[in-house]
Amino acid sequence: MRFMRRYAGRLAGVFLLNAVYVLLTIFTFLMIEPFVKLLFRGSLEGLSTLSAFMVSLISKVVPLDNARLSVVAIILGAAMLFLLRNLSYYASQWVMAHVRSDFLYTLRNRLYDKMISLPLGYFTKESRGDAVTRAVNDTQEVEYTVLASIQKFLTDPIALLCYLAFLFYIDYQLSLWAVLLMPVAFLLIGFLSHLLKRSSKTYRQRLGVLLAHVEETLAGLRVIYGFNAQGKAYEKFAGLNRQFHENQKKVYRQSYLASPLSEFLGVASVMVVLVIGGTLVLSQRSGLTAELFITYIALFTQIITPVSNISSAFADYKRGEAALDRIYDFLEVEDTVEDASDAQSVRGFRDAIEFRDVSFAYSDAEVLQHIDLTIPKGATVAFVGASGAGKTTMADLLMRFYEPTSGEITLDGVNVRRYKTADYRSLFALVSQDVMLFHDTIYHNITLGFPASRTEVEEAAKAANIYDFIMSLPDGFDHVVGDRGVALSGGQRQRVSIARAVLRKAQVLVLDEATSAMDTESETLVRQSVEALSKQHTVVMIAHRLSTIQHADCICVLDGGRIVEQGTHEALMATKGTYYQLVVSS
């Protein structure tokens, strides 16, 4: 309902249009009594008050002295009412179409915005496939269930109340029997709805697991082919799909039961009313005439649809509530990196970035312990160490992808939490070990939405030593790189990534294992690029290939989450400590 408040005016309009629709439906059925009297008695004498009122309105337009003319006039009047009824129904649907479409549009935007702002640690516990399921499949489920149910709740309760009011007006004794039958239907449908919600929640969870496995398979096809693991991958998928299939059958069966069950209960109610009402007419113990009873039955049959819709709406809502719960859980994931209410803008720094007694832990696993480090502006600082030593975590903390568990990171002596996150991150450009290129041209992969001229893009490509290769391609910068850059080699993808970072003219370049996928020639080209860039930028490097960081102003050696050595290449080699052992063994 939080999301629906913005549509309160339109929903009120839908409610009013539906009220008009119901009243016009009732007025149309009130024409049955005079029509039947004319057919079987040849006169309009003895009409009920409401039917007589409708006939008086028609008589103001067409004289009803002649029986045949009266029949035609009543039929035309009923047709006109039916036309107006359908126009009001279309108008309500027209308004509701905007509400449904705009709601989903807004919800998808909220989900996508949340997805691209989630803390990185979220995906250490949750799969990407599950996130996609929530953003796409669960949203679609909300449209087919929750929004459809809301639309029914705006239409059918008022229809039910209006029909009951007129039925009670016609004959209260018979209507009491009809009302007593309704709780039975609601109790049965309510029980079914409870089962359906529980099954639907499991259904959404298993769908997320299934899609996550598909996403992992597509990302790891080279590994699967290389190890002939297609059979194992299929076996796992078939098992997950079997679980999903069994749960899906249960959801479908429970869902499909709601409509026929409510319809059966409705027909059974009509049969009961026919028996009781027919007895009252034959016994003449009430003012219910045969003609009025026919009108009563026609109106009572209209109750079946709203009762059925309300009961199925409850069932649908319960089914969609499982999807809603998953969406809200996703939207309410706590952002571990948030701007303070008084956060300041920042456009650069003068002196240095410092780690002051910084420690960090993923859940209960401590990764960094008591880190003290100064990165002067214009310096090239390298992090080295064995896998799991904490090198990438240092870079993630530096760019504020995570917040330190304890200690602080400062920019010119000011805690970086005092700055707006977007402004602070704009000071950095990242070249990651896992290069991500999109299925687009080289030009658009370099710019990635950044406003730059063609000349600036070419200069960035030259700085990354990728310009000559791009120009050798038939389409040059308009060459499409394929899914995840599959049309390029690992080294070429890395250099495109470096060009992307250079284009932003960020003050700090962070190179996370930037040469890990390169051959010797590509590594040499990148090293030349980095050496040139280090003269204009602050550079932070993470490397396994120690030959790429020997020129660094400061090399920090990490071991077990601590800085155990730091200094220049020459100074560290002279001490013959941990760094020396890494170089010798590499």
Sketch the domain layout of the chain as residue ranges: 3-95+156-315, 352-585
365: pLDDT strictly greater than 80: no
471: pLDDT strictly greater than 70: yes
- Give the Cα separation of 549 and 531 in Å (integer): 10
The confidence score (pLDDT) of residue 191 equals: 65
Fill in the amino acid letter for 568: T
Q: What is the CATH number of domain 352-585?
A: 3.40.50.300
Band of the pLDDT at 487, cuts 50, 70, 90?
confident
Band of the pLDDT at 159, cuts 50, 70, 90?
confident
Higher pLDDT, 286 or 139: 139
Sheet order of strands, 365-376 included: 365-376, 352-362, 406-411, 414-415
Q: What is the mean pLDDT of the chain?
A: 79
Q: What is the CATH number of domain 3-95+156-315?
A: 1.20.1560.10
- Give the Cα separation of 151 and 159 in Å (integer): 13
The confidence score (pLDDT) of residue 355 equals: 94
Read off the pLDDT of residues 515-565 as tens digits, 9 standing for 90 and up: 655 566 666 666 666 666 666 788 898 877 777 788 888 999 998 889 999
The confidence score (pLDDT) of residue 239 equals: 84
Residue 414 β-bridge partners:
411
358: pLDDT strictly greater than 90: yes
The confidence score (pLDDT) of residue 153 equals: 84
From the CB of residue 115, how many other CB atoms can be counted at a distance below 10 Å?
A: 17
Residues ≥6 apart with Cβ < 8 Å to 417: 340, 343, 403, 408
292: pLDDT strictly greater than 60: yes
Residues in the chain: 586
Residue 360 β-bridge partners:
368
Q: Are the CB atoms for 452 and 444 separated by under 8 Å?
A: no
Q: Are the CB atoms for 91 and 17 separated by under 8 Å?
A: yes
User: Taking residues 250-260, what's their average pLDDT?
Assistant: 70
Reported as half-sphere exposure (CB side, CA atoms, 13 A), residue 510 has a value of: 20
- Give the Cα separation of 313 and 281 in Å (integer): 36
- The alpha helices in 171-289, defined as continuous H runs, are 172-219, 221-226, 230-283
The confidence score (pLDDT) of residue 327 equals: 80
Segment (H or E) for 391: helix 391-398
From the CB of residue 18, how many other CB atoms can be counted at a distance below 10 Å?
A: 24
3-state secondary structure of 494: helix
User: Taking residues 298-304, what's their average pLDDT?
Assistant: 77
Band of the pLDDT at 402, cuts 50, 70, 90?
confident
The confidence score (pLDDT) of residue 518 equals: 59
Dihedral angle sign, alpha carbons of residues 374, 379, 384, 389: positive
- Give the Cα separation of 297 and 278 in Å (integer): 10
Reported as half-sphere exposure (CB side, CA atoms, 13 A), residue 125 has a value of: 8
Please state whether the predicted TM-score (pTM) of the whole model is above 0.95. Answer: no
User: Taking residues 337-348, what's their average pLDDT?
Assistant: 80
User: Taking residues 193-219, what's their average pLDDT?
Assistant: 70
Q: What is the CA radius of gyration of the chain?
A: 36
* Distances 340 to 344, 345, 396, 577 between C-alpha atoms, Å: 9, 12, 20, 43
Highest mean pLDDT among 209-213, 223-227, 368-372, 541-545: 368-372
Higher pLDDT, 290 or 552: 552
187: pLDDT strictly greater than 70: no
The confidence score (pLDDT) of residue 411 equals: 92
Closest CA to 52 of 40, 41, 66, 64: 64
Q: Are the CB atoms for 155 and 13 separated by under 8 Å?
A: no
The confidence score (pLDDT) of residue 135 equals: 73
130: pLDDT strictly greater than 90: no
DSSP code of residue 322: H
Phi, psi of 428 (to 5 degrees): -115, 150
The confidence score (pLDDT) of residue 482 equals: 77
From the CB of residue 374, how many other CB atoms can be counted at a distance below 10 Å?
A: 15
Chain-centre distance for alpha carbon 79: 45
User: Taking residues 575-580, what's their average pLDDT?
Assistant: 88
Band of the pLDDT at 374, cuts 50, 70, 90?
very high
Higher pLDDT, 514 or 574: 574
Fill in the amino acid letter for 304: I
Band of the pLDDT at 385, cuts 50, 70, 90?
confident
- Give the Cα separation of 236 and 243 in Å (integer): 11
- Give the Cα separation of 370 and 360 in Å (integer): 9
Q: Are the CB atoms for 558 and 389 separated by under 8 Å?
A: yes
503: pLDDT strictly greater than 90: no
Q: What is the DSSP string of 191-211?
A: HHHHHHHHHHHHHHHHHHHHH
For the chain, the straight-line distance linking the first and the last C-alpha, in angstroms and rounded, comes to 61
Read off the pLDDT of residues 91-120 as tens digits, 9 standing for 90 and up: 998 998 888 888 888 888 888 888 777 766
Q: What is the DSSP string of 293-306?
A: HHHHHHHHHHHHHH
Read off the pLDDT of residues 169-185 as tens digits, 9 standing for 90 and up: 887 777 777 777 666 66
From the CB of residue 181, how many other CB atoms can be counted at a distance below 10 Å?
A: 16
Dihedral angle sign, alpha carbons of residues 246, 247, 248, 254: positive
